[in-house]
Structure 1
């Protein structure tokens, strides 16, 4: 019996049939609004913390910002596990502390606090790059489905403040739009996977906590996207 090759394993076009591609697109779709939340929290915390530091209230605000960064990093850890296929461990490097000063200091001393903060600040660039595949995918779908929808007007953006559109009114025009839509979707899928790969590597490096098998980062050897990493 001849075994058929899985569609997802085909070169170039296989990404369209791979479910991970659409999880990556979803990750990029939510990345930008989440990045704005990160930016708002840090901008408020740092600016007001520094302004109010002479009256000590600012120190409390800065500490609260670090605690908020740990909470946001925990959410990013869950999001990476759900959509990027990682298996990240929760950091457990917060030391036992007695008293308010020691309790505050443990957040400053924990390496996971600063690694998580580094991930949150770096993710903005992943979110910014992720707009490219999202826009390409959004433009490619109307072109691909033009034969079933014409007459239709596809908008590509703006040129000198004026919308750049293509009015598809005939069947030949609709058929000509299909290969353009296919190309746009393929490029979008590959770019989305590339951005997700970068985000996954960042998450493993900066969000992974110590595991029973070793230090932070060891869990990457167990699974990445559900498969052995090949180390």
Structure 2
């Protein structure tokens, strides 16, 4: 008896039947606005903190920026768990603190604070790379739908300040547009998965906390889409 392979396991086109692809696209869709929030928080905190540091108020602003970084990193951890298929542990290296000075120092001393800052800084690059598959998708889908929409004019961008368009007015032209659109959609999905993979590895490396079940100081294996991340 011959069993059929799952559609998602098919080469090249199986990506369209894989639910992870659409979660990855959603992750990339929200990545850019979230990255702008990260950038705004750090720009305000670092610039004003540095300028006001001589009057001590700046130190409070810088500390608040680190606290905000931990909160944003916690949000990114939940986002990665929900859309990238990770299972990240919450860091617990802050420890106990007695007094305001000791409490402030624990945020500076915690390694997870600076790993979170590193992830938030790198997230902007991920967001920029994530625009490529999203743009491909917005160009490919109108081509796939051309037989149901013609006559239609599809714009691909600009060349020397002039819009680059394709006026599809006949059925043969619309049918010819379909394989081009399918190729663009497939390329977009594979690129989205590739960018999401890079973001997932970054999250595992920079946002994962210590083991929740094993001895202290050992890293837990984080499951990534059903596979262990490695030792």
Aligned to 1:20: 20
Change (3 A) 1:41 1:171: same
Aligned equivalents of 1:129 and 1:35: distance in 2? Answer: 12
Aligned equivalents of 2:229 and 2:62: distance in 1? Answer: 38
**TM-score, normalised with respect to structure 2:** 0.96
Q: List structure 1 segments (4+ residues) > 6 angstroms apart after TM superposition.
A: none
Aligned equivalents of 2:189 and 2:119: distance in 1? Answer: 24
Aligned to 1:213: 214
Change (3 A) 1:13 1:216: farther
How do 1:42-57 residues align onto structure 2 when only pairs under 5 Å count? 42-57=42-57
Aligned to 1:102: 102
Q: Deviations over 1:129-177 (max 9, x none)?
A: 0000000011100001111111111110111222111111100000010
Deviation, 1:213, is 2.8
8 Å CA contact 1:81–1:88 kept in 2: the answer is yes
Does residue 138 of the first structure (1) align with residue 143 of the second (2)? no
Aligned to 1:36: 36
**Secondary structure of 1:45's partner?**
helix
Change (3 A) 1:217 1:172: farther
Length, aligned pairs only: 229
Aligned equivalents of 1:185 and 1:230: distance in 2? Answer: 32
Aligned to 1:202: 202
Deviation, 1:230, is 6.9
Q: Deviations over 1:165-192 (max 9, x none)?
A: 1111100000010110011011111110
Change (3 A) 1:82 1:216: farther
Aligned equivalents of 2:207 and 2:78: distance in 1? Answer: 10
Does residue 11 of the first structure (1) align with residue 11 of the second (2)? yes
- CA RMSD in angstroms comes to 1.3
Aligned to 1:156: 156
**Secondary structure of 1:166's partner?**
strand
Change (3 A) 1:229 1:45: closer
How do 1:178-197 residues align onto structure 2 when only pairs under 5 Å count? 178-197=178-197
**Secondary structure of 1:156's partner?**
strand
8 Å CA contact 2:221–2:229 kept in 1: the answer is no
Deviation, 1:46, is 0.2
Change (3 A) 1:137 1:206: same
**TM-score, normalised with respect to structure 1:** 0.96
